[in-house]
Amino acid sequence: MSAVSKIIDHGTIFGTASCLIILAHGPDRLRDALIRIISKTPFDTRYHSSLKWILGLGFVWALNRRLNAWALNNWQLRSGPKWKWDEEVAVVTGGSNGIGALTVAGLAAKGIKVAVMDISSLPEELQKLSNVKYFKCNIAVKEEVDATADAIRTTFGHPSILLNNAGIADAHTILESTPQYLRKLFDVNVLSNFYTLQAFLPHMVQVNKGHVVTTASMASFVSCPGLVDYSATKAGVLALHEGLTSELKHRYKAPHVRTSSVHPIFVSTKLVDTFADSLGKSKAVVISPQTVANAIVKQVLSGQSGQVVLPGWMAAAQSARGWPNWMQELMRDGTKNDVLPAPST
């Protein structure tokens, strides 16, 4: 193959791939403009054939996205009650550090009043914000959650946004998990979500307006060696979240209470401190907490339900449970050294 032919072929691949990315992920205006251009522009047979397939795939992808969004918003065409951000109250568990603190800052910047439930004090930069208040609370204790919920309502009024963000993790094998740690892990990562829902959901149901955001994990879909107990909690949180969505629609008749789940891959926070070295050696994908916080804030401001996977190109992991067993095992095999270093031989 000549150098010119190679350039042409590489250009064909790059051009069609770029078009596919735009058609699949681009903004509506850009995607529509590309479709108009393609429909009026003559191409050689390679481009023409490739782009016909791309247009088909792009259409299917776009249709799938729209159907997903429609389904997650209870098959509603209308957006529901209007959100007035300077009148809304958000509760953020674990809002004093990491993703939570950055999310609090992002929500506060939009004028939302934010109540932080945490056992750790607020960082100084959040203490300076007049629309952010700290409420010391061990969310693993239902009585404390209920008492704190009363204090929040007295201070701000009824919350319309609940971000169940708090979570803990530690790297070890199943045989190294102690009963004490397992109890704490499930209390914080799973049971606390029940407690906060029981405290704040009734008013959202009453007025048929609200938004519950669950900070889950990619571990909701793929269990990782060395974090099996953590993965179990995140799978449980996803089951809770999906059940909540169904109950809001069918049992409580409150379809305008939105529900969103966020599933990041490893995030560079204190949560990964115990296995940061392993992540580096295995060259695992690690994203910044700001990336996750930005996605959460964006989802809240959309006023719509959704399922957010970060980074977005890993979205296929949502369907992992439906893959053939050999594919699932290969995917889990790929994480074998991410959390715990390879055993010495």
Give yes or no: residues 184 and 63 share one domain.
no
Q: Which long-range contacts (CB under 8 A, 24 or more apart) does 175-181 make?
A: 177/228, 177/229, 181/229
Give yes or no: residues 110 and 258 share one domain.
yes
Residue 230 is a catalytic residue = yes
Give yes or no: residues 177 and 232 share one domain.
yes
Q: Are 23 and 58 in contact (CB under 8 A)?
A: yes
> What is the gyration radius of the CA atoms in the chain, in angstroms?
23
Give yes or no: residues 235 and 156 share one domain.
yes
Give yes or no: residues 111 and 220 share one domain.
yes
**pLDDT tens, position by position, 67-102:** 766 666 766 666 677 899 999 999 999 999 999 999
pLDDT at 333 over 70: yes
Residue 147: CB atoms within 10 Å: 14
**pLDDT tens, position by position, 101-142:** 999 999 999 999 999 999 999 999 999 999 999 999 999 999
- Whether 148 maps to a domain, the answer reads yes
Give yes or no: residues 295 and 168 share one domain.
yes
- Whether 308 maps to a domain, the answer reads yes
Q: List Cβ neighbours of 257 (8 Å cut-off, separation of 6 or more).
A: 201, 204, 205, 208, 209, 210, 211, 212, 248
- Whether 341 maps to a domain, the answer reads no
Burial grade of 214 (CB within 10 A; 0-12, 13-18, 19 or more): buried
Give yes or no: residues 220 and 114 share one domain.
yes
pLDDT at 148 over 80: yes
- Whether 80 maps to a domain, the answer reads no
Give yes or no: residues 65 and 159 share one domain.
no
**pLDDT tens, position by position, 229-283:** 999 999 999 999 999 999 999 999 999 999 999 999 999 998 898 899 999 999 9
Give yes or no: residues 99 and 238 share one domain.
yes
Looking at 184, 234, 252, 336, which residue is catalytic? 234
Q: What pLDDT score was predicted for residue 342? A: 72
Instruction: Work out the mean pLDDT of the chain and round it to a whole number.
Output: 86
Question: Given pLDDT bands bounded at 50, 70 and 90, which one contains residue 341?
Answer: confident
SS3 content of the chain, % helix, strand, coil (to 5): 60, 10, 30
Residue 134 is a catalytic residue = no
Question: Given pLDDT bands bounded at 50, 70 and 90, which one contains residue 54?
Answer: low
Q: How far is CA 27 from the centre of its chain?
A: 20
End of a domain among 25, 42, 72?
72
Q: What pLDDT score was predicted for residue 162? A: 98
Question: Given pLDDT bands bounded at 50, 70 and 90, which one contains residue 308?
Answer: very high
Please report which helix (H) or strand (E) contains residue 210, including its range. strand 210-215
End of a domain among 72, 95, 126?
72
Question: Given pLDDT bands bounded at 50, 70 and 90, which one contains residue 315?
Answer: confident
Q: How far is CA 60 from the centre of its chain?
A: 24
Counted domains in the chain: 2
Q: What is the CATH number of the domain that holds 220?
A: 3.40.50.720
- Whether 345 maps to a domain, the answer reads no
Give yes or no: residues 60 and 207 share one domain.
no
**pLDDT tens, position by position, 160-171:** 999 999 999 999
What separation in angstroms does the CA of 335 have from each of 72, 196, 227, 330?
30, 33, 10, 9
- Whether 313 maps to a domain, the answer reads yes
- Whether 96 maps to a domain, the answer reads yes
Give yes or no: residues 68 and 89 share one domain.
no
Looking at 230, 252, 253, 281, which residue is catalytic? 230
Give yes or no: residues 7 and 98 share one domain.
no
- Whether 246 maps to a domain, the answer reads yes
Q: Residue 61: give the domain boundaries.
A: 3-72
End of a domain among 72, 96, 112?
72
